[in-house]
């Protein structure tokens, strides 16, 4: 007849070895960073100030289809080409492709025409 007592010890021993292996292996999976140095995110892309003005004031400013404020408003946009639209009730919409150059602050002035 098998000795259940010795089987239990063998199982218990194997479990203990597995648990020790997991405990010893875990630190290899953990990200390590130097003490005193905070983890930093990548820097945001450089932006350039763009001042939007309209005549009359209070036109809604949309950049690439997203509402960004009402004129006059100063926005920070990434370098590149952006589709800009100004809207004001009672006036025709104003649309342009705006090329933003990094480090070159820009002013956009739109004279809106009545409908």
pLDDT tens figures, 15-71: 444 444 444 444 444 455 555 666 778 877 788 999 999 999 999 999 999 999 999
CATH number reported for the structural domain that contains residue 57 in this entry: 2.60.40.1120
Range of the domain at 78: 47-111
Per the domain annotation, does 72 fall within a domain?
Answer: yes
Angstrom distance (rounded) from CA 56 to CA 92 = 12
Give the start-end residues of each E strand in 14-105.
47-55, 60-63, 66-70, 73-78, 80-87, 94-100
Q: Is the peptide bond before 23 cis (omega within 30 degrees of 0)?
A: no
Structure tokens at 38: 């905070």
Per the domain annotation, does 79 fall within a domain?
Answer: yes
Number of domains in the chain: 1
Per the domain annotation, does 41 fall within a domain?
Answer: no
Share of the chain above pLDDT 90, in %: 57
Predicted local confidence at residue 95, as pLDDT: 98
């Amino acid at each position: 007849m098998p000795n259940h007592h010795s089987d239990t010890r063998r199982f218990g021993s194997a479990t203990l070895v597995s648990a020790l292996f997991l405990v010893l292996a875990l630190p290899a999976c953990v990200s390590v960073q130097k003490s005193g140095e905070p983890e930093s995110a990548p820097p945001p892309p450089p932006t350039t100030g763009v001042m939007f003005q309209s005549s009359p004031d209070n036109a809604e400013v949309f950049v690439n289809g997203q509402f960004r404020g009402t004129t006059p408003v100063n926005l920070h946009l990434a370098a590149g080409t952006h589709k800009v639209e100004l809207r004001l009730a009672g006036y025709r919409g104003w649309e342009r492709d705006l090329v933003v150059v990094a480090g070159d602050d820009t002013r956009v002035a739109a004279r809106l025409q009545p409908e």
